């Protein structure tokens, strides 16, 4: 299988205010995301997984190692990637239609009519037909995240980056949105990198789950999720699902222990 | 309010529930007109008390004319030949000064919000001038521009310019970081971020600036004309005051206040419509 994203020994430092030295957020991460694969990264909060994703998106520069997409090094944001943010980050003065078309508009490669028609298709795809002329404030949190997803998909990226997109939703909406994401993703199986702190979510969605260590982020373990697709919510009660969950929990628990020990010193 | 009506519908027979719905709707309609009705009634009562005080002559008419005296004076002034030219002069001073303040204040605010260094350059002057009561510049403005309309245009401009520029600049600077990150992720350039985020995002702030500015502008017109003018509603107040025509002073005051209320309410409505845009 072709490798889409290759990260080799990636380090990310960044300067925080009032810090004398740069802060190491991601430390030597090596992982591949294959073409058409949905890879999830789980880890305790503050473990650098979002920082890693921002580096993949080109919003942050890496300070060591290499990061390539289809063999080309990442330098800055590009049309081959699109991000679904944790916060919906929608323009409040724009309708759903205009928000979904926003990424295309910034890309500048499509005419107005073309943008609107692509946006309409993606609004339908995420199940928001009929809400084209609504404003974000009129939508629920789950619906706003659908718009956020549609905006990213509309630009037709080679790779989809998702930064805990369901973290701020209530439990029921979250499960439903996971199901929806799998339905939408299943249509063309775009390469996707999904960041979450929710272990079940990672197992349920992903082909492979990468467990990050806490602060700085390193790859602790990689698990192949051998569960048949298409998956419905019942998969979450599959014995193998529970086995994966236990293994990841153990990793994180050990990590949590060492992180706590580190904090005491 | 009416929200409880549908819930009861399930347990009471259809006709009674219908009656309740009608009742609830009636209550809803009353809730909407209630502020207007009570507000109007309170004004009527206040005017009546005032008129009674005036008729009882507890204080001489020279000190406190009643509402009816003022209405008469207003009618007399409104039909006098001076009325047209006074109103036109004051309106012109307000419109030209305020218009110029928007025309200059908006671009200056936008540029200062967008270019950090320009903000550093201009901030000392803006802060100094904004803290100075601009009315205090009238003697200078009269020396420079005379007692015609231009000294008033200038003081209106100075009054409105600062709130407009400062609010616009605040609007541009309070750009939502999450939106900027999203735009950058989609490869937005700086001009694109300005056009698609900073500009529309600052609309509610600009409207607040316009509303604050119009208050200052009105003060500028009236005080400017009180100090020195050839025509204008403020001049009428000054002259009527100097000749003890107290009712006429009140009449001119009412013209000023009503204009102020109309302008404020219009801009407040506009502001409320765009309030959902404010970053939270």
pLDDT(B46) > 90: yes
Cβ B192–A106 below 8 Å, yes or no?
A: yes
Among A208, A206, A86, which residue's Cα sits nearest to residue A148? A86
Residue B10: pLDDT band (50, 70, 90) is: very low
- A217 to chain B nearest CA, in Å? 22
DSSP per-residue string spanning chain A: --EEEEEEEEEEEE--TT-SS-EEEEEEEEEEEETT-EEEEE--TTSSHHHHHHHHHTSS--SEEEEEETTEEP-S--TTEEEE-SS----TTS-HHHHHTHHHHHHT-S-HHHHHHHHHHHHHHTT-TT-TT--GGGS-HHHHHHHHHHHHHHT--SEEEEESTTTTS-HHHHHHHHHHHHHHHHHH--EEEEEES-HHHHHHH-SEEEEEPSSSB-EEEEEE----SS--GGGGGSHHHHHHHHHHHHHHHHHHHHHHHHHH-
Q: Any bridge partners for residue A5, and if so which?
A: A33, A69
Q: In which band, very low, low, confident or very high, does the pLDDT at B5 lie, cut at 50, 70 and 90?
A: very low
- The CA–CA distances, whole Å, from A198 to A189, A194, B165 equal 22, 11, 47
Bridge partner list, A211 = A42, A221
Per the DSSP assignment, residues forming a β-bridge with A33 are A5
Q: In the structure, what pLDDT confidence band is assigned to residue B170 with cuts at 50, 70 and 90?
A: very high
pLDDT at residue number B93: 93
B197 touches chain A (CB under 8 A): yes
Pairing mode of beta strands A64-69, A3-14: antiparallel
Contact by Cβ (8 Å): B211, B272: no
Cβ neighbors of B194 (< 8 A, separation 6 or more) are B114
pLDDT in tens, B103-158: 999 999 999 999 989 999 999 999 888 888 888 888 899 999 988 889 999 999 99
**Cβ contacts of A89 on chain B, cutoff 8 Å:** 178-179, 181-182
Residues of A with CB under 8 A from a CB of B: 57-59, 76-79, 81-83, 85, 87, 89, 91-93, 102-103, 105-107, 135, 137, 155
A79 or B106: which carries more pLDDT confidence?
B106
Q: Is pLDDT of A213 > 90?
A: no
Distance CA A136, CA A132 (A): 10
3-state secondary structure of B251: helix
Q: Which two tokens stand for residue B162?
A: 């600062």
| A contact test, residue of B174, B185, B200, B274 with most A CBs within 10 A | B185
**Between β-strands A208-212 and A38-42, what pairing exists: parallel, antiparallel or unpaired?**
parallel
CA distance A116 to A121: 9
The pLDDT value given to residue A227: 80
A57, A105, A135: residue with CB nearest B185: A57
The pLDDT value recorded for residue B11 is 47
Taking an 8 Å cut-off on Cβ atoms, the answer to whether B186 and A103 are in contact is yes
pLDDT of residue A197: 87
Residue range B178-201, pLDDT digits in tens: 899 899 888 888 999 999 999 988
| pLDDT tens column, B220-249 | 999 999 988 889 999 999 999 999 899 999
Q: Could you give the C-alpha distances from A152 to A90, A155, A198, B204, in angstroms and in order?
A: 12, 6, 22, 28
B184 touches chain A (CB under 8 A): yes
The pLDDT tens digits of the residues spanning A158-183 come to 898 999 888 888 888 888 888 888 88
Q: Return the pLDDT at A258.
A: 55
CA-wise closest residue to B167 among B106, B104, B217, B101? B106
- The mean of the pLDDT values for chain A is 83
* A207: pLDDT strictly greater than 50: yes
How many Å lie between the alpha carbon of B274 and the closest alpha carbon of chain A?
A: 8
- Do A107 and B276 count as a contact with CB atoms less than 8 A apart? no
pLDDT at B30: 81
A147 pLDDT higher than 50 = yes
Q: What is the mean pLDDT of residues B255-275?
A: 89
Contact yes or no for A196/A40 (Cβ under 8 A): yes
* ipTM confidence score: 0.85
Order of strands across the sheet that contains A64-69: A23-34, A3-14, A64-69, A72-73
Within an 8 Å CB–CB cutoff, is residue B273 touching chain A?
A: no
- With bands split at pLDDT 50, 70 and 90, how would you rate the model's confidence at A264? very low
**B57 three-class SS:** coil
Interface contact A107-B187, CB threshold 8 A: yes
Residue A21 · residue A189 · CB < 8 Å: no
Q: Which residues pair with A29 in a beta bridge?
A: A10
Q: Which residue has the higher pLDDT, A105 or A228?
A: A105
Q: Are A194 and A39 in contact (CB under 8 A)?
A: yes
Tens digit of each residue's pLDDT (9 = 90 or more) over B71-114: 999 999 999 988 999 999 999 999 999 999 999 999 999 999 99
How far from the centroid of its chain's Cα atoms is residue A173's Cα? 18
B29 touches chain A (CB under 8 A): no
Structure tokens at B1: 């309010």
User: CB contact, 8 Å: B131 with chain A?
Assistant: no
Mean pLDDT of B168-182: 90
């Amino acid at each position: 299988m072709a490798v889409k994203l290759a990260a080799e020994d990636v380090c990310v430092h960044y300067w925080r205010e009032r810090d004398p030295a740069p802060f190491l957020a991601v430390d030597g991460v090596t992982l591949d995301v294959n073409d058409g694969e949905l890879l999830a990264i789980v880890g305790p909060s503050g473990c650098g997984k979002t920082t890693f994703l921002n580096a993949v998106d080109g919003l942050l520069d890496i300070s060591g190692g290499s990061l390539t997409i289809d063999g080309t090094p990442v330098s800055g944001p590009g049309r081959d990637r699109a991000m679904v943010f944790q916060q919906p980050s929608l323009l409040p003065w724009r309708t759903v239609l205009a928000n979904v078309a926003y990424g295309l508009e910034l890309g500048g490669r499509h005419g107005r009519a073309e943008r609107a028609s692509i946006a309409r298709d993606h609004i339908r795809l995420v199940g928001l037909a009929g809400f084209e002329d609504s404003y974000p404030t009129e939508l629920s949190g789950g619906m706003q995240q659908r718009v956020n997803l549609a905006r990213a998909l509309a630009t037709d990226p080679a790779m989809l980056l998702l930064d805990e997109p369901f973290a701020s939703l209530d439990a029921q909406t979250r499960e439903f949105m996971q199901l929806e994401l799998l339905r939408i993703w299943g249509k063309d199986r775009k390469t996707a990198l999904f960041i979450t702190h929710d272990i079940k979510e990672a197992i349920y969605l992903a082909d492979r789950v990468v467990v990050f260590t806490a602060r700085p982020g390193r790859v602790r373990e990689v698990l192949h999720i051998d569960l048949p697709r298409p998956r419905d919510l019942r998969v979450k009660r599959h014995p193998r699902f529970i086995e994966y969950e236990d293994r990841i929990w153990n990793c994180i628990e050990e990590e949590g222990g060492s992180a706590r020990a580190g904090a005491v010193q | 309010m009416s929200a409880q009506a549908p819930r009861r519908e399930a347990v009471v027979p259809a006709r009674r529930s219908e009656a309740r719905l009608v009742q609830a709707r009636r209550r809803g309609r009353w809730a909407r007109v209630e502020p207007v009705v009570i507000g109007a009634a309170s004004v009527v009562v206040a005017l009546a008390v005032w008129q009674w005080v005036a008729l009882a002559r507890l204080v001489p008419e020279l000190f406190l004319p009643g509402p009816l005296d003022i209405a008469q004076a207003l009618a007399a002034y409104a039909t006098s030949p001076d009325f047209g030219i006074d109103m036109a002069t004051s309106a012109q001073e307000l419109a030209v000064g305020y218009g110029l303040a928007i025309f200059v204040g908006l671009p200056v605010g936008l540029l200062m919000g967008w270019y950090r260094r320009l903000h550093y350059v201009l901030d000392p002057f803006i802060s100094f001038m904004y803290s100075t009561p601009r009315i205090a510049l009238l003697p200078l403005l009269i020396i420079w521009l005379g007692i015609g309309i231009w000294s008033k245009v200038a003081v209106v401009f100075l009054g409105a310019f600062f709130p407009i520029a400062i609010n616009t600049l605040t609007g541009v600077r309070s750009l939502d970081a999450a939106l900027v990150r999203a735009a950058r992720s989609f490869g937005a350039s700086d001009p694109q971020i300005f056009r698609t985020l900073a500009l529309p995002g600052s609309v509610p702030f600009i409207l607040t600036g316009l509303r604050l500015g119009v208050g200052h502008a009105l003060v500028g017109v009236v005080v400017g004309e009180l100090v020195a003018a050839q025509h204008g509603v403020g001049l009428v107040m000054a002259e009527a005051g100097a000749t003890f025509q107290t009712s006429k002073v009140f009449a001119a005051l009412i013209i000023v206040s009503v204009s102020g209320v109309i302008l404020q309410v219009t801009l407040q409505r506009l502001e409320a419509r765009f309030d959902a845009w404010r970053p939270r």
